[in-house]
């Protein structure tokens, strides 16, 4: 099989580095340019003997330019990391400032805790929108925890090779609450989404043995201007040598007294075979390479790709 490259310029990646800091520049085929600037930021060194400050390389800015390589100051995003623990990230963009707060939450992995949106004018401190993230503990602190999913291998601590860290029981997202505020900063609209997983206590539709369903939510409940419940099921077992887990097989969305259901079937290779959406069935046929070859709608009209 011979592959003929397309005619015309390709993508160009260029990088510069000095003392850990540097810039990665990406030039697109049409001549546009995006530059990613990196800097060295202090970080507390976690060592068993002594203490000190180490430095880590992190993104400090993203800049875009036109074909003439003129960088637009109104298309620049800058990032800063107040505090040595780097639990806070500030992103200053052309239209807004966003503050991200993370937390360890008693686990060896850091999780996003909140996202706050401010006016891009740094002299204004009014909070425009805030999103809070809550997590459910599937770890050893939970009653009758499910078996470890084994998706996160153990790894050595970067500052102390004698310490091996692992997350066999990850925390899973349980609720997202977003509050939008009016110009005075008072809450004007709140939206919440809760996630339910198979575990303890068991939810309706879960197997008798507790499982976290590969970290996929069994049910989502949304509240705010409306109330909507989404129930989900998944397929985890496919053909030999096919490493797929958590492929959605059904989605039932309930609003009031009405439920709208979509179901999918897949081949043992994981290819989407059919979709029944609200009673309308579409079937799909793969090519020899596994790409979409044709689809047939409910009227038996076939479209070949």
CB 35 within 8 A of CB 62: yes
How far is Cα of residue 131 from the mean position of the Cα atoms in its chain?
Answer: 15
**Beta bridge mates, 282:** 275
| Prior bond of 176 cis (ω within 30°) | no
CA-closest candidate to residue 89, choices 108, 102, 77: 102
> What pLDDT band is residue 149 in, cutting at 50, 70 and 90?
very low
Residue 150: pLDDT band (50, 70, 90) is: very low
Q: Bridge-partner residues for 114, per DSSP?
A: 101, 132
| First-last CA distance in the chain | 21
Residues 208, 31: Cα–Cα separation, whole Å: 58
Q: How confident is the model at residue 159 (pLDDT cuts 50, 70, 90)?
A: very low
The answer to which of 153-157, 178-182, 262-266 has the lowest mean pLDDT is 153-157
Render pLDDT for 174-211 as a digit per residue (tens, 0 to 9): 889 999 887 776 777 888 988 877 654 555 556 554 45
Residue 222 vs residues 31, 48, 230, 244: alpha-carbon distances, Å: 44, 46, 8, 28
CA distance 117 to 121: 12
Residue keyed to tokens 């996160």: 152
Residue found by looking up tokens 């239209």 in the block: 95
Place of tokens 């470890």: 148
> pTM of the predicted model, to two decimals?
0.68
* pLDDT at residue 296, rounded to an integer: 95
At residue 142 the predicted structure's pLDDT band, cuts being 50, 70 and 90, is: very low
What is the longest distance spanned by two Cα atoms in the chain?
Answer: 73
Mean pLDDT value of segment 115-127: 86
CA–CA distance, 107 with 291 (Å, rounded to integer): 40
Structure token pair of residue 119 = 């006016």
Pairing of strands 21-27, 302-304: unpaired
- Judging by beta carbons within 10 Å of its beta carbon (0-12, 13-18, 19+), is residue 19 exposed, middle or buried? exposed
Where does residue 198 rank: exposed (0-12), middle (13-18), buried (19+ CB within 10 A)? Answer: buried
Q: How confident is the model at residue 43 (pLDDT cuts 50, 70, 90)?
A: confident
Taking only the tens place, the pLDDT of each residue in 208-231 is 544 545 567 888 889 988 899 998
- Give CA–CA dist 231/236, Å, rounded: 17
Q: pLDDT tens for residues 58-102? A: 999 999 988 777 888 888 999 999 877 778 999 999 888 999 998
């Amino acid at each position: 099989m011979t592959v003929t490259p397309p005619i015309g310029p390709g993508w160009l990646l260029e990088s510069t580095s000095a003392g850990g800091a540097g810039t990665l520049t990406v030039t697109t085929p049409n001549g546009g340019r995006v530059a990613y600037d990196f800097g060295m930021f202090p970080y507390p060194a976690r060592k068993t003997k002594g203490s000190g400050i180490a430095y880590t390389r992190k993104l400090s800015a993203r800049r875009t330019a036109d074909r003439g390589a003129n960088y637009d100051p109104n298309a620049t995003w800058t990032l800063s990391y107040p505090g040595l623990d780097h639990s806070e990230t500030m992103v200053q963009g052309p239209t807004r400032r966003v503050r991200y707060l993370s937390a360890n939450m008693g686990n060896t992995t850091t999780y996003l805790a909140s996202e706050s949106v401010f006016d891009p004018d740094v002299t204004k401190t009014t909070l425009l929108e805030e999103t809070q993230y809550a997590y459910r503990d599937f770890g050893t602190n939970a009653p009758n925890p499910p078996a470890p999913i084994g998706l996160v291998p153990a790894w050595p601590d970067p500052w102390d090779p004698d310490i091996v860290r692992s997350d066999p029981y990850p925390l899973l997202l349980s609720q997202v609450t977003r509050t939008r505020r009016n110009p005075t900063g008072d809450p004007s609209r709140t939206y919440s989404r809760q996630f339910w997983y198979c575990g303890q206590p068991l939810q309706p539709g879960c197997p008798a043995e507790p499982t976290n369903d590969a970290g996929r939510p069994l049910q989502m409940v949304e509240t705010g201007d409306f109330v909507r419940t989404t129930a989900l099921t998944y397929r985890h077992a496919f053909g030999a040598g096919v490493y797929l887990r958590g492929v959605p097989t059904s989605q039932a969305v309930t609003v009031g007294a009405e439920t709208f259901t979509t179901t999918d079937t897949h081949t043992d290779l994981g290819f989407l075979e059919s979709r029944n959406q609200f009673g309308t069935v579409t079937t799909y046929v793969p090519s020899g390479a596994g790409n979409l070859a044709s689809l047939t709608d409910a009227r038996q009209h076939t479209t070949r790709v």
